Chain A
């Protein structure tokens, strides 16, 4: 069984809290340990940053999927014109390093003509 939760909000730094809170709440319900939850919160924010990049306008779309002991989060940006939303090289590089270090899998795909970055994090075995 899986739960899918979608969250959409405008590109604004003060709203990133919603992305973190949703991730934490879902991970809590998936019985993740507190360390995993902290990592997931951090990763979701980095995921948004890596997708939003230099965009000042647009809408962030997050899709959280909770399965047994597994959380998948996809993030994409819809906008009217403008750049492809990627962060500057240096900032994006650090986001990707953090993501790579803290999740089990990550990647990119296309969803409804939008580039979506996604991560997958499993509940640590010791916390199950």
Chain B
């Protein structure tokens, strides 16, 4: 949050992660260094004997929209869930803004796949959004009026204010996805991790979601999406991470989202014609 400090540290010729301010015991957090919002080292996940994600390194940039891309079963969602500790990992380290993930959970917002929950659950839209306030409210404190107003403001950002009192099962798929995004907004995080946010939503919802994600980027937050629609990668994202069990490539969209890298990621599953339709420049990376 205070990039100047890092600059100071760099000027002083100190190694990364070792700040003078922190050494002085000032109230500045070490994670304020310009560390990557999400850095993954040697992550391996296995269902049974076959690895789903194998020894993956990834570094996502701050203040940018990043996409995790790969074919079905390539381990996109698995990578995200294992990084968050939702599913167990065999090995690997994950740091968030330079700190171990468990020390940085307050700075992370997570949007699971819509199909991962039971929408028949007896709860209202506003109730789901206020689940994003849990870390602030704790076990027993009642929601104050300003916290309620904050939850309503988050619903407003996704255009769902009118549905605040609806039971969540009475929403369309796109509306449910927006409610999940509103809950993540209520978390007030610096890093947003979204699992297939555009899957099975209507066009209006897709536009609404990408507008919100772009406004988060404008506020300097980092956004990482598991994404499956290759045709929107260039218009939505700044950074891509290509995965097929192993890391294939990562970097800025312009230089990394190339026909060659896609061929390497999808293998025979993506016909040359599809890649042609994307009108990508450049050959192999």
Q: A and B bound?
A: no
B→A interface (CB under 8 Å): none
